[in-house]
Amino acid sequence: MRHGRAKADYDAERFAEEVCDVVSRIPRGRVISYGTIARLLCAPGYARRVGGVLKSVPETAHLPCHRVVSAAGRLVPGWEAQRRLLETEGVPFLDNGCVDMRRAIWEEVR
DNA sequence: TTTATGACCTGAG
DNA sequence: ACTCAGGCCATAA
């Protein structure tokens, strides 16, 4: 999904690989949003697709999917264990139950 | 082909 | 601070 790829060139398989690659590099204790991942892959507008990819990622992949949250810091609906996993890593939460994005967001380095 | 469906996002109110 | 509508886009039905 390198720079400015047109919709017609979209390749689900490749997109999924690139998403997983980014997720695998999220540091412990930090989080990133679906939309940010999409932008990192030069595919703005594909935030929903990022979620779709993660949904189908098998446990055996051992990816830190719990570190991906919405731009507002909301957790995955229905995934009860996510909060505990994040708290274990020291991810800060707000009173409203969302991740404190201002402190926990991961800005890709380099 | 058309409609419905999300692990989404942003701007308004 | 919180909800909502409108926009988003590949997939499944």
Q: Which pLDDT belongs to residue A98?
A: 96
Does residue A50 reach within 7 angstroms of strand B, measured from its CB? yes
- Dump pLDDT digits (tens) for A20-39: 999 999 999 999 999 999 99
List Cβ neighbours of A20 (8 Å cut-off, separation of 6 or more): A53, A57, A61, A63
> pLDDT, tens digit, for every residue of A35-78?
999 999 999 999 999 999 999 999 899 999 999 999 999 999 99
Kindly give the interhelix angle for A47-55 and A12-24, rounded to the nearest 10 degrees: 80
Burial A90-101 (b: 16+ CB within 10 A, else e): ebeeeeeeebeb
pTM over 0.85: yes
Tens of pLDDT, residue by residue over A89-104, are: 999 999 999 999 999 9
Residue type, A48: R
User: Residue A94, CA: closest nucleotide via C1'?
Assistant: C1
Query: Which residue places its CA closest to the C1' of nucleotide B10?
Result: A71
